[in-house]
Amino acid sequence: MGHLIHVWHERNGWSHKVLPALAESLDLGKVHNSQISNLRNGKLASPGPEVFLALSQINTILDQGIEHIKDHLAKDHPELLNVLLESAFPVLNNEGTPVSAGEFFEIFIGLRPLPECFDWFIEDDEAIHISEALADCFCGGKSWRQSREEVMSAYRILKPSRRDRFAEVMSGLRDYTAEELDGELLDLYQTYINLGGDMKNGINTFLSNLRAKI
């Protein structure tokens, strides 16, 4: 469960304050910053049912789209709205529907595995080599200086911190961690498609091809 919450935040570039602020602003229940932080770090031993209920309600709203709550947030919570407009991906199960309160609870106690799109089974050591393979794949044999403009245009994420991190990985200044790759892989796959990659075989084949380059 901690991994799921961590990757959810990572994928959206959120701080641990976003979910509690959204729950409070929409009157979805009381969730403390410390609860989300400890849940994210695997340190919350026994969260109450209100935590799972609030998470599921937020998740459903995000799946429906920010436009449904945009006016309300613009009036009273403009900073929160700006964060969500940058990125507000919900947590979807393997059937493509928002994870419910019951599913969140089952994941927490270990009765249900993580949704497939939240665990690509990437190990930390492997993440270093996948980062290198990504740079080779996206740059197409060219130097970063030659390919930078095209690759950065294909990476459609707007959040500056994620764009800066992506550029550093592409240029070889750093590598993604395994958890960062879990959060980035869907967008990296879309970047691959935007660069003219074959989308017929899907994201799992994309990851398999990267692993084959290691």
Percentage of residues of the chain with pLDDT beyond 90: 67
Q: What is the pLDDT of residues 57-71, one digit of tens each?
A: 999 999 999 999 999
The pLDDT assigned to 30 comes to: 80
Distances 188 to 18, 28, 144, 165 between C-alpha atoms, Å: 24, 33, 17, 12
What is d(CA 203, CA 174) in angstroms, rounded to the nearest whole number? Answer: 23
pLDDT at 7: 83
CB 88 within 8 A of CB 12: yes
Average pLDDT, stretch 31-52?
A: 88
In this prediction, residue 179 carries a pLDDT of 84
Structure tokens belonging to residue 154: 């294909």
* The one-letter amino acid at 33: N
Whole-angstrom distance, CA of residue 178 vs CA of residue 162? 15
pLDDT band of residue 133 (cuts 50, 70, 90) is very high
